[in-house]
Structure 1
Amino acid sequence: MSHTSRRILHGFTLLLLIMQLVHQGLSAPGRQQTIASSNSYTERVLQISKAAEIANYMNKNVNPCDNFYEFACGNWPRINKATREKGRTGRLEQISQGFDRKVKQFLIKENDQLDTPEEKQIRSFYRSCTSVTRIDESYRNKLKEVIREFGGMPVLEESSWKASEFDWIETIGKIANTYGQSIIMKIEIEPDLYRNTKNTVHVTYQEFPLLTRGMYVNSDTEYARKYYTAAIAINLIEYLNIESELAQSTAEELMSFEVELAKGLPSETEEKQASKMFIWRTISEMQKLYGSTLDIQRFVNVTLGEDINNLYDVLPEYKKNLVEVIQRTPKRIVANYIFYNLIKAFCLKVNEQESKERERNCQSITSDTFAKNVNNMIYRRHNTADTAAELQLMWIEMQKTFKQTLQSDRLNWLSPKSRELAIEKMTAMKLEVNSHVKEDFSKDFVNIHMSDDDYIGNLKQIFKKAAATERAKIHLPTTFQIDNAQYSYSPSNFIQYNAIMMPVALLQPYYLWAPSYSNPIKYGGLGAIIGHEIIHGFDAVGRSFDAQGNLHDWMDEKSFINFNDRQKCFSEQYSNYSYYGIKLPKSEDQSENIADNSGVRLAFDAFRNWQNAQESSLNDRKNLLPGLNYTNNQLFFISYAQFWCTDVAKEQRLINIISDSHTPSMFRVIGPLSNFDEFSKEFNCAVGTQMNPIRKCELY
């Protein structure tokens, strides 16, 4: 057995011991007098285990000044190798998997006294999903019934389909009104950009499966379009029983149509310019602008069931392009596109031979459908509330530290007035956990009756309820309640609320946080994540929103020019990096890289402020991990780097560069730390080494 294998096995043994000790310490009756000593011993074991984990991932043969990512994460790919099937491994994936294991335990067990009535209904939905073991004629007929609610699909009806009876605006409006599925265009009820206490109507574009315009039009992403086209053809065959050759030709038509639609998507720069992306108009103005081809008034009326006089026209360029695309596209193709996207929401991927895969898929669907309920359930049952309480203490320290930074000479590129407004914004910023502890879930389940064996029927109920709830928001005040599944794992700064949402998943014990973990570990991991999100409130988009979350640029012209000059430095730096031989694309917007760079600086400063405030004896006891011969400051940087330890399968590397606004993980370590003098000082990196270049980029 290799030395590395012995260390890994040792770590697993420790984890088993930990579980046993925790069980004994918390559950054994008549042993109160030993609980304190048992917990103390458990805490020590947890520290040893964490230290062993950190050491396992490091490659100490690499000079940290040459490549700190390889130094901190060099052994990660051998321990957590990515494959074609498992395209990516990383810390976030580990955390997500731990969260998913907890969700699975909840879904597969029988109802018990801890369950709310809503959670029992969620479990019934999961059972209805796993009860579908194959796509048979009964399932296909239910899908066709959904289509017939709104008309006929040409590829199914062939010569009997009448183009003269098809009205695409009416069709997508009725679908959105009934089931909340947005096809081609989308209506969102969102806070007003300039007065976020009231909701307004936003007319925007549909979600695109390939995410960005580049994925649809760039020559080097043609492989992704071919894969997507093949997937459409397979779905047409499997779910609608369409003959293979016809399915292939239809899929190609649908893909070509979607490519044309995607040409109207915003560029990366346009996405950051809210004042140009969101135009306040009257309905009559939009009617004149887009004409009868794009009857906005009728679309809004059918979708919402009422007349609206004023609304936000989101990305007018998309609609201008849409008018041209609709005018030159046969109605047959438009109809096939609409109805294919309608049934896609009801299509369940089923592996007849592999029940475990069906269970995983159904668990994912259930978690996405009932995201806020699932997050609340994990929060209540798995001790994340304790971490949430400690998180608020870290938040207070980081909020105070960033206000000090904004007042410091280091940020003299900001004018005094801009600094004052930035400090006002930081003071007002909030951090919340998506636990939904104050929410009344019963209202979401009024007239909802989940069946254990009718998956499509269950989905219809859920979609109808969600659509009605969304429409009702027009007449309600705004509330900061985010239940979108994408935020179950990823922290986000919601600029319009001036608030950061922290996922319950990141608060699970023993990943980024445990009472026994030293503060360098906590601040290097969770602290840097918080720092990253704070900085988004002050980046290219964040600088356009004030302390109340309203669209109001608080950065004056001189500060704005200085910001852009410093942003160009990051653009030059990151475009010189190569990822497995692929040069990173040059980008004007550097919001994610700026958030990485300034976020880790902020977390480090907050950690040192905390350290300096402690008595030396307490500091020594709390901050050292056994067996790691590094200073507390060095441990901070190692912890930061190891949050980004990643392995990506060869097949996914190119698509990661093109479709992800974040740089590859290795450069989320190398870039920020090579710009940070404090890092070079801690590891004694000579000027001119990769991790201590002569020219450094800095913003906040």
Structure 2
Amino acid sequence: FVTTMCPDKQRIWQVLRCLVCLVYFITEFAGAARIINTDYDFNTENAREILRLSKAAEMVNYMQPRMDPCDDFYRYACGNWQDINPARFSDGKTGLFNELKNAYNRRVVRWMRKPKRTSESDMDRKVKYFFESCMNKADLRKNYRQKLVSVLEEFGGMPALKGPLWEADKFDWLEVVAVILRKYGKQIILGADVFADLTNNEVNRLYLGQLDKLVTPRAAEYYVVLAVARQMEMHTVLGMSMQVASKTAMEIVDFERRLAEGKIDADRGFGMEDKTQLTLLEVMTDNYKPTINFTHYVNVWLGYPYVLPVYVYVESYINNLRRVIEETPKEIVANYIMWELLQDFRMEVNDSDDKHRNKCVDRTKRFFVKYLDHVIYQQLFTQNQKIFAELRMLWFELKNAFGELLKSEVNNWMSVVTRDKALEKLSAMSMEINSYEQENFEQQYDVLVISTDSYFDNVVNILELQGRSYRLRLLESPKLDVGEILSFTPAYAAEYNRVLIPVSFLQPHFLWDHAYPSTVKYSTMGFVIAHEMAHGFDDIARKYDARGNLNNWWDRTSTEEFSKRKECLRQQYSGYRYNSRKLPIINAQDENIADNVGLRIAYNAFQHWIRQHSDNSTTMQHERLPNINLSPQQLFFLSLGQVWCTDVNRNWREIIIATDVHPPEEVRVIGMLSNFDEFGKEFDCKPNARMIPKRKCVVY
């Protein structure tokens, strides 16, 4: 419709439109700052002020400020997140760490698409050539199905494809998985891991048994989704009829589910000392022959007789595996092995360009994750060295805060000897950024041949190199190798007493920036690091000593007192509800311990910083954000809560509950803040408020 306005009203309308545009610009600026090339100078006064405005606007956007923070702090801090960042089925869930991953991927894509220069290293070219070959849909379409089948034929073929031509009498499942492990370094059905010895981390040992990647059979919805997905993939990728694809998919998914029934899931809270037993290969072979000849399996894999001690890894898994193999027709076992073999070779050629690019980024990261982390680290270090200096300073502040906490009277339940050992371990604990500065990539990948026009051959060459490298690990000294698993979130490595920081964690404007209040630094980056630091003293890692060896230094009395505090958390968290039902009672409380202790460490470090700077009015004024009427302490809790703002697609909620040892994010926020007296004091909560339980759980 058409309307007219008087001049004054028109001017008012123009002003309102400008204000709307300004608000939109401010709220989008932080997001844009994370995406655009960070060569832009954010160190000017105007840029810093806009970053502060944008951070404040972003935080307000996610909040439901009318919600009483003493009633439901998660809804108060994150109530609007799901409307702004809804999770699609393909996403599973949205949250800060997903945003970090997406931003990291954008950096990787920009680097891989930069014009090639003569000054580039061979390693640069190999990674970029691989990505280019993956993006080359025309090449992927050439004889794609025939190439996949040729991989299968090398190992005897897939019964579902060959039909009556498949020779069951020649199939030996253990021989096949051993040969695949030798050639491609890929573990199927049987785990064969090389890690540092539990009690002597200066030598590597072989761990045989459980395949950790298998998903708990309690995740029933996961296996339903998996069966449907595999049916469609077998039909479209391998050309099976829908009838054959449906039957095959159902059989191999059921086989995988039955394999997983022997697993010890992480939520049972078992440490490695409960899941392993040092023995000899010949003893394992005697115990499980003729179904599982471990001696033959390892000798085929390595190519020579192996006589050193090995670890049985989860005996219940091996017992279950023997039973499942004996009860399952060979055709189903073979179909499962062949389908698993194909996963590194498969690349859907009919996806949209965006979806295909994202898959190529993920595939490139899987094969070259260390090198890409190294490249992005160099970029970030060049662009902003301050954040690395800040990180080192923050680490020492958090260690000091944890040390003071351990010495405080709240931890008088620990014996003097045990507390001294804890302080010794904390003092020895180190932090490392996964920069891979010491890696000799040119030497590692010297023999690798990569071309721009043959993705399939590139994958074969990469996997063969991985297979050779994996075999050699038993002859090498132990080396911390986290790879893609820990590319987006910090972690604590008990066997090295070290906190590992991924490069993606240091991208500017996400967790912290110099323009933001220091409050935000302690409540985001500080809390996440403190959480990992606290893992060194959870129920599993506390049994490792200062050098990272399994060597239980806890006396009986301190152990009993620790168990009481763990049980308090177990009962408390099982009382929370998610997705309209109570959370299951689980024995593992390591993540809840780390959350609750990490909060205390980070907050104490922040309060120490406040005391040091309280006389500086300019500094303290900087601790407030525009348009957010909260004290620095209240802002700490708001910022901490928003680290965990999340939306989970409803189709994935039950699967996540069954598979994730972490509680749902909203429970994490409510649980740890409910146990922290300072939270209630800062928000002036009444004693009967929901966030103020009568019984609080405190570990350290």
Partner of 1:308: 306
After superposition, the CA RMSD in angstroms is 2.3
1:659 equivalent in alignment to 2:655: no
Aligned-pair CA distance for 1:429: 0.7
Aligned-pair CA distance for 1:271: 5.2
Q: Using the alignment, how far apart are the partners of 1:359 and 1:624 within structure 2?
A: 41
Deviation per residue, 1:92-127 (Å, 9 max, x gap): 112211111111111222213674321211111111
After superposition, the Cα gap between the structure-2 partners of 1:147 and 1:106, relative to the gap in structure 1 and judged at 3 Å, is same
1:98 equivalent in alignment to 2:103: yes
1:265 equivalent in alignment to 2:263: yes
Cα pair 1:189 1:471 within 8 Å, conserved: no
Q: 2:196 aligned to 184, 188, 191, which one?
A: 191
Structure 1 residue runs without a partner (length 5+): 27-37, 216-220
Letter in 2 for 1:376: H
Aligned-pair CA distance for 1:65: 0.8
Deviation per residue, 1:236-266 (Å, 9 max, x gap): 2223222221221122221222122111111
Cα pair 1:518 1:624 within 8 Å, conserved: yes
Aligned-pair CA distance for 1:481: 4.2
Aligned-pair CA distance for 1:9: 4.1
After superposition, the Cα gap between the structure-2 partners of 1:16 and 1:401, relative to the gap in structure 1 and judged at 3 Å, is closer
Aligned-pair CA distance for 1:422: 0.9
Q: 1:56 aligned to 56, 61, 82, which one?
A: 61
Q: 2:134 aligned to 115, 129, 135, which one?
A: 129
Q: Using the alignment, how far apart are the partners of 2:278 and 2:487 within structure 1?
A: 32
Partner of 2:223: 225
1:432 equivalent in alignment to 2:420: no
Matched ranges for 1:437-476 at <5 A: 437-476=437-476
After superposition, the Cα gap between the structure-2 partners of 1:13 and 1:596, relative to the gap in structure 1 and judged at 3 Å, is closer
Q: Using the alignment, how far apart are the partners of 1:16 and 1:379 within structure 2?
A: 20
Partner of 2:148: 143
Q: Using the alignment, how far apart are the partners of 2:194 and 2:350 within structure 1?
A: 37
1:678 equivalent in alignment to 2:678: yes
Matched ranges for 1:448-527 at <5 A: 448-482=448-482, 484-527=483-526
Cα pair 1:524 1:604 within 8 Å, conserved: yes
Deviation per residue, 1:174-225 (Å, 9 max, x gap): 000001111111211110000001111111333545x22422xxxxx2x332
* SS in structure 1 at match of 2:82: helix
Matched ranges for 1:243-642 at <5 A: 243-268=241-266, 272-309=270-307, 310-352=309-351, 354-382=352-380, 383=383, 385-482=385-482, 484-614=483-613, 616-617=615-616, 619-620=619-620, 622-642=622-642
Cα pair 2:100 2:505 within 8 Å, conserved: yes
Aligned-pair CA distance for 1:44: 2.5
Q: Using the alignment, how far apart are the partners of 1:136 and 1:428 within structure 2?
A: 54
After superposition, the Cα gap between the structure-2 partners of 1:143 and 1:13, relative to the gap in structure 1 and judged at 3 Å, is closer
Partner of 2:4: none
* SS in structure 1 at match of 2:291: helix
Partner of 1:218: none
Letter in 2 for 1:226: V
* SS in structure 2 at match of 1:443: helix
After superposition, the Cα gap between the structure-2 partners of 1:341 and 1:17, relative to the gap in structure 1 and judged at 3 Å, is closer
Aligned-pair CA distance for 1:368: 1.9
Aligned-residue identity in percent: 33
1:204 equivalent in alignment to 2:209: yes
1:10 equivalent in alignment to 2:26: yes
Cα pair 1:134 1:350 within 8 Å, conserved: no
Cα pair 2:133 2:452 within 8 Å, conserved: yes
Aligned-pair CA distance for 1:529: 0.2
Partner of 1:177: 182
* SS in structure 2 at match of 1:496: coil
Structure 2 residue runs without a partner (length 5+): 1-15
Q: Using the alignment, how far apart are the partners of 1:340 and 1:621 within structure 2?
A: 60
Cα pair 2:26 2:53 within 8 Å, conserved: no
* SS in structure 2 at match of 1:294: coil
Letter in 2 for 1:73: C
Partner of 2:81: 76
* SS in structure 2 at match of 1:190: strand
Letter in 2 for 1:448: L
Aligned-pair CA distance for 1:137: 6.8
Q: Using the alignment, how far apart are the partners of 2:571 and 2:103 within structure 1?
A: 38
Letter in 2 for 1:94: E
After superposition, the Cα gap between the structure-2 partners of 1:7 and 1:82, relative to the gap in structure 1 and judged at 3 Å, is farther
Letter in 2 for 1:432: E
Cα pair 1:18 1:42 within 8 Å, conserved: no
Deviation per residue, 1:124-183 (Å, 9 max, x gap): 111111113597571111112112222232222222222221111111100000011111
Between stretches 518-527 and 95-104, larger displacement belongs to 95-104
Q: Using the alignment, how far apart are the partners of 2:61 and 2:425 within structure 1?
A: 41
**Matched length:** 680
After superposition, the Cα gap between the structure-2 partners of 1:290 and 1:156, relative to the gap in structure 1 and judged at 3 Å, is same
* SS in structure 1 at match of 2:187: coil
Matched ranges for 1:18-37 at <5 A: 25=41
Q: Using the alignment, how far apart are the partners of 1:480 and 1:89 within structure 2?
A: 30
Q: Using the alignment, how far apart are the partners of 2:537 and 2:35 within structure 1?
A: 43
* SS in structure 2 at match of 1:568: helix
* SS in structure 1 at match of 2:44: helix
Q: Using the alignment, how far apart are the partners of 2:384 and 2:328 within structure 1?
A: 53
Deviation per residue, 1:336-395 (Å, 9 max, x gap): 21111111221113335x222111111111122211111111111133543222111000
Deviation per residue, 1:425-467 (Å, 9 max, x gap): 1111111111112221112211112111111111111111111
Partner of 1:214: 218
Q: Using the alignment, how far apart are the partners of 1:226 and 1:14 within structure 2?
A: 40
Q: Using the alignment, how far apart are the partners of 1:240 and 1:661 within structure 2?
A: 36
Partner of 1:687: 687
Cα pair 2:26 2:50 within 8 Å, conserved: no
After superposition, the Cα gap between the structure-2 partners of 1:696 and 1:6, relative to the gap in structure 1 and judged at 3 Å, is farther
Aligned-pair CA distance for 1:592: 0.8
Q: Using the alignment, how far apart are the partners of 1:195 and 1:225 within structure 2?
A: 39
* SS in structure 2 at match of 1:603: helix
Aligned-pair CA distance for 1:18: 11
Aligned-pair CA distance for 1:531: 1.0
Cα pair 2:34 2:509 within 8 Å, conserved: no
Cα pair 1:388 1:433 within 8 Å, conserved: no
Deviation per residue, 1:307-360 (Å, 9 max, x gap): 2221111001111111111112122221121111111221113335x2221111
Aligned-pair CA distance for 1:564: 1.3
Between stretches 154-163 and 64-73, larger displacement belongs to 154-163
Q: Using the alignment, how far apart are the partners of 1:373 and 1:17 within structure 2?
A: 25
TM-score, normalised via structure 2 length = 0.93
1:168 equivalent in alignment to 2:167: no
Cα pair 2:345 2:456 within 8 Å, conserved: yes
Letter in 1 for 2:333: V
Cα pair 1:56 1:75 within 8 Å, conserved: yes
Q: 2:161 aligned to 153, 156, 161, which one?
A: 156
Aligned-pair CA distance for 1:83: 2.9
Q: Using the alignment, how far apart are the partners of 1:20 and 1:254 within structure 2?
A: 45
After superposition, the Cα gap between the structure-2 partners of 1:42 and 1:264, relative to the gap in structure 1 and judged at 3 Å, is same
Cα pair 2:34 2:103 within 8 Å, conserved: no
Aligned-pair CA distance for 1:421: 1.0
